[in-house]
Structure formats: structure tokens, C-alpha cells
Structure 1
Amino acid sequence: MFRRRLFRVFLLTALAASPLAVSGQEPDKEPDPIKWSIKAGSSTSDKKTFQVELTARIDTGWHLYSIEKVEGGPSPTRITLSPGQKFEVTGEIDSPAPRSAYDPNFQVATEFYEGIVPFTIPIRSTTPAAPLDKLRVQVRYQTCTPTICLPPKLIELETPVTGEETKLVSVPTVPENPATLKSLTTGALVPDFNFTDFNGKSRHFSEFRGRVVLLDFWASWCSPCLADIPQLKTAYQKYHAGGFEIIGMDSETLGQKQIDAEFAADARAKAREIVNTRGVNWTQSTSESSVPVAALFGIENLPAKILIDRSGKVVARIRNVSELDELLPRLLTVQP
């Protein structure tokens, strides 16, 4: 008894001191790797038609997915006019040819941009444009590196039709719930939460108490998340019988204050296809259930993995699935 108790104290102390034992979002603020600008060109003599140049400046190491939708691929960039204006798009949006490369995680060739990318939008005013008229453009886009993806983001930009200035306009947001502003830290007891699984069944996190649980926050648009699936399958097969569980926290609408119904429906279908075709046989939580839980841990980008011990306390945020082979043998030995 004394030997087991001493081992447990040693283990918890070692985990607390380990650089792996951090939870929630990184202390740095959320990355902002793409800077957008917009400018309207000169109008024609009838003051009704003109072009708008929208420019994305992409930080090194990041990429922006193209405006063309690739079946089975990531979320494409969508450029539209904000509703309620007296302007309309009159043709195809012109952009440079994107790079194309096979992505083994999506299992398709994806198209993306790097560096500085101009988009030219042909615009027509439904009434003669006045000197003080302003045009508002919305951009929904996704950006990734080889190891991290930021959630699809919606921004609005505004420019006078004279092209004299450019302005980023805040899109109305939903107020944060004060209860979720403080994220859980290492050693914190994870409160019980409800979620709906992919079979439509209502579940509770408390069902898994007494087991070591990995909360795997992922999404169908996150290539690094999909890259982790083979290693997660190996870990699940290796440690499940010893008391290890994975709950897949599908987070398709993470970070989206205004949820696009078409995007959400397409992402839900894609997530289920991934689970069904890639041999994922652990419990999956729907996006509607998962996103509020992500807020508890301060998660703002993907992939994100939270390891929880048998007593329901946060142990570590896993950055590489290979870390499980180091942590799980010890955690599974300790009884709650």
C-alpha cells in the first residue's frame, strides 16, 4: 500500500513538472497570419461598373486555400458582397493560379496560395455611385501550416468606391459566456458535461470516470488532425484494454461567431464520412456539443488534445501523439 501510494505521488509530481503538462490555449495570442486590404479602382464613365482589388498577404509558412471547392478537401476561400448594398458582382472573381499538391491527409490534391495574392472582383452599382458610397466585402477563409489549422474565419472589409482608403470592419459577434472565459489548467478537475454522439445518443463525460481519457479536438477541414488518425488508432488498440479511452470532439464550427448553415451541414457530413471510412471506432461528439467544451480549455486552433487521468483531472495537452507512449503506461498503472 505504501509503495503504491509513494509511486502515485511521484508520478503526479513528475507530470506536473513536465513541460508536457500544460493545458488550454498557448499563452501567446491567437496567430493572425493573413493581412487583408481592399481598394476600389476607377469606375467607367457611367459610374456604374468598376473593379475592386482584394489582397491577401500571407505570412511565411502559412497557406490560404483557393476559391475553388475541392470535393473532399478543405474549406475554400469564399468572397461575397455583404448583404443590403446597391452593388452586385458581375462576373468571375479573378485570382492567380493556385499551387496544387496532393495532401495525403485529405487524400485529394488541394489548391492553395502563398505569399501575396490579389483577387480582382468585377462590381456593378445598381444605381449611379455617389462619391461617398462605400462597398463592403465579406471573406470567409481558412489558413493552415503543416502542423496547425486555424478555424475558418469571417471578416468584412470596407472601401469607398473612390478607392481612397481601405478599412477592416468587425463582423458582429456573439458575446462570450463569462463562465467559459477562464480555461481549465493542469490538475483541474474536468466538470461533467453532456454531449451527443454521432449515433444521436445523449452521453455524459462522467461515464468515462475511472479511465484515462484523451479528448481529441479535430475537424474535417484540419489536415494535421487527419494526419493523427493512424497513430491514434495504434494507441487506442494498444492501451484501450488497460483503461484508455478516446473521445473525438468534432469541432467543425470552432471559432465561428456566425455559423454558415451550408458550411456546417457539409462539414458534418464530411466528418462522418471520415470516421466511417478510416476505421475510427472510438466515441465521437458532434460539433454542437464539442465547441462549448473546447471553450473550457481555451482551444482556438486545431489539432488539440487534452489528456485526463482516471480521477478526471487534466494531466497534459498532447502536441504529438507519440507522447502517449511515454505517459499512458504510467497513468494506467495508477488507480483512482
Structure 2
Amino acid sequence: MAKNLTEFYKGGTVKGGKQVNNRKKKRLIVRITILSVLIAAVVYTLYSTLTEDERMIVKAGDQAPDFVLTDLNGETHRLSDYKGQGVFLNFWGTWCKPCEKEMPYMENQYQAFKDQGVQILAVNVGESEFQVKNFAKKYNLSFPIVRDSQKDVMYSYAIGPLPTTLLINPEGEVVEVVKSGMDEETVASYMEMIKP
């Protein structure tokens, strides 16, 4: 009887004590798991923030990082091959409404500036060739559209929201970074800015 009373005060009856202890262990495991997940999330957030700063966002005054991408016709485009020309480097997606709105303006100004030494390189980020071709056909786009299917170039430039456009002068230096959609007048003024 005394043994049973001791068991009772330690956590319930002899049979019930094991159940109470198992529940406590399970709760402790769940709490430790939740705490571990929360700690991992905080560590990941801190790491992401620090490495983004280390990755250095490309900004005005920087040399534009070189890259090679393939266009919809299978031709390769290396940014450094455009040295001596102004480059209107536009990162975009077919799902992006501001991107869609500015594309006809870019096409119009491309026709006006291409013979004056200003080129457009439109970098589609992460979409299928089918989607991009349909979009280009819908808007009758004639400037080079290259696909960054693995998002490598997007990450090397630390591109955030789409559309983002980098204005690159004939020396390969970034003159300005535009992180929003543009109207036709703005596109024209930026192309004039990077004209050789």
C-alpha cells in the first residue's frame, strides 16, 4: 500500500503514472521541436540579410557584371560584346503587369534609338521558352529577349522586384537602376542618357 501511495504522489497511479510521464515527454519533445524550428528561422533570416549585403547590390557607378544568355532564336548575347553602346538592361516577367505595360514603349524607343547606338537586352527571369515566345509575339517585340531560366544573372545583379532596369553607358558602367515600370517618355529620356 505504501509503495502504491508513493507511486500515486509521483505522478498518478502505478498504471496512470506511466501515461502522465509519456505525455510530459511528448509535450517536451514538441516544445523542443518548435523552439528548434523558430531558432532555425531566426538564424536563416539573419544569414540571408547578411549575405545579401555581402553580395553587393549592383548600383550606379559600378561596372555591370558580365554574363552570357541565349535569346529566343538560339543566339548567345554577352553583355561585354555591347561595350561602346548604351545598354538598356531590363529584367522582367510575363506575369508582371508593369513589365507588360512598358514593353510596347521599349519597342517604340528601341526602333528610334537602335541606330544611335542604344541596345535593349530584355532578361526574362525563370519562365519557359513557350511563355516568353508567346509574349514577344503578342507585342511584336524585335529587341533581343534572353532567358535567365536558372535566375543566375538575376541573383548576380541582386535584382529584387520586377521590372528592374539598369542603364549601362558605353563604357559598361551602370548609370542608374530603375526599380519600377516606366512610361514612354521616361524610356526615351533614359535611352537618350546612355546614348554614345
TM range (shorter): 0.5 to 0.7
Which of 98, 103, 124 is the matching residue for 1:250?
124
Shift of 1:330: 4.3
Partner of 2:194: 331
Match of 1:200 in 2: 74
Residues 24-49 of structure 1 deviation map (CA, whole Å, 9 limit, x = unaligned): xxxxxxxxxxxxxxxxxxxxxxxxxx
Aligned length: 151
1:213-257 Cα deviation digits (max 9, x unpaired):
0111111111211111111111111111101110010013xxxxx
> C-alpha separation between the residues in 2 aligned to 1:183 and 1:221?
24
Partners of 1:227 and 1:199 in 2: how far apart? 24
Aligned-pair identity in percent equals 21
Cα distance in 1 between the residues matched to 2:154 and 2:71? 16
Partner of 1:234: 108
1:314 counterpart residue number: 174
Contact 1:183 1:295 in 2 (8 A): no
Equivalents in 2 of 1:251, 1:331: separation in Å?
24
Residue by residue over 1:117-167, the C-alpha shift from the partner in whole angstroms, topping out at 9 and shown as x without a partner, is xxxxxxxxxxxxxx99xxxxxxxxxxxxxxxxxxxxxxxxxxxxxxxxxx9
User: How far did 1:199 drift?
Assistant: 2.0
Distance of aligned partners of 1:326 and 1:200 in 2 relative to their CA distance in 1, 3 Å threshold: closer
C-alpha root-mean-square deviation of aligned residues, in Å? Answer: 2.9
* Residue aligning to 2:33: none
Structure 1 unmatched ranges of 5 or more: 1-130, 133-166, 253-263
Whole-Å separation in 2 of the counterparts to 1:203 and 1:236: 17
SS in structure 2 at match of 1:224: helix
| In structure 1, C-alpha distance between the alignment counterparts of 2:79 and 2:137, rounded to whole Å | 23
Q: CA deviation at 1:310?
A: 0.5
Worse-matched range after superposition: 187-196 or 320-329: 320-329
**Residue 41 of structure 1 corresponds to which residue in structure 2?**
none
Q: Deviations over 1:90-136 (max 9, x none)?
A: xxxxxxxxxxxxxxxxxxxxxxxxxxxxxxxxxxxxxxxxx99xxxx
Is there any run of 5+ residues in structure 2 with no aligned partner, and where? 1-25, 28-37
Q: 1:295 to 1:188 in 2, by over 3 A?
A: same
CA deviations on 1:282-312 (whole Å, 9 max, x unpaired) are: 11111326x2222233212211111100100
Following superposition of structure 1 onto structure 2, how do residues 1-336 of structure 1 map, counting pairs within 5 Å? Answer: 181-252=55-126, 267-288=128-149, 291-318=151-178, 319=180, 320-321=182-183, 322-332=185-195, 334=196
**Mapped partners of 2:194, 2:79: distance in 1:** 19
Change (3 A) 1:238 1:292: same
1-side partners of 2:137 and 2:191: how far apart?
26
Contact 1:222 1:302 survives alignment (8 Å): yes
Higher RCO, 1 vs 2 (CA within 8 Å, ≥6 residues apart): 2
Task: Mark the structure with the bigger radius of gyration.
Answer: 2
Structure number with the higher helix fraction is 2
The structure with more strand, counted as a fraction of residues: 1
TM, length-normalised to structure 1: 0.40
